[in-house]
């Protein structure tokens, strides 16, 4: 045995480790970097609210509390 197959396996292992490290770093950078649509407006420092986040005009409503049934009380076993 002259050692050549072991050297090839070692070189392949190093290339595979380097490639997998590059893929993991690329994935991490994609996850951390915000998309361009979410980037804040430089003049205000915050992004604009979408139309779905605007408050809706409402009117006050009067509500009556529920009445409890007098025959059922807490803790009674019938």
Tell me the pLDDT tens digit for each residue of 25-72. Answer: 999 988 887 665 555 555 666 777 777 877 888 898 898 888 887 765
Residue 16 lies inside a defined structural domain of this protein: yes
Q: CA 46 to CA 56: how far, in whole Å?
A: 22
- Residue 67 inside a domain? The answer is no
> Is residue 17 a part of any domain in this protein?
yes
Q: Is the pTM of this model over 0.85?
A: no
The domain tally of the chain equals 1
Residue 53 lies in a domain: no
Residue at 62 is within a domain: no
């Amino acid at each position: 045995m002259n050692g050549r197959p072991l050297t090839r396996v070692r070189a392949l292992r190093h290339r595979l480790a380097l490639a997998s490290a590059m893929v993991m770093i690329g994935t991490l950078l994609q996850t951390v970097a915000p998309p361009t649509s979410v980037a804040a407006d430089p003049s205000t420092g915050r992004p604009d609210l979408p139309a779905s986040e605007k408050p809706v005009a409402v009117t006050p409503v009067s509500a009556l509390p529920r009445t409890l049934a007098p025959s059922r009380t807490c803790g009674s076993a019938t």
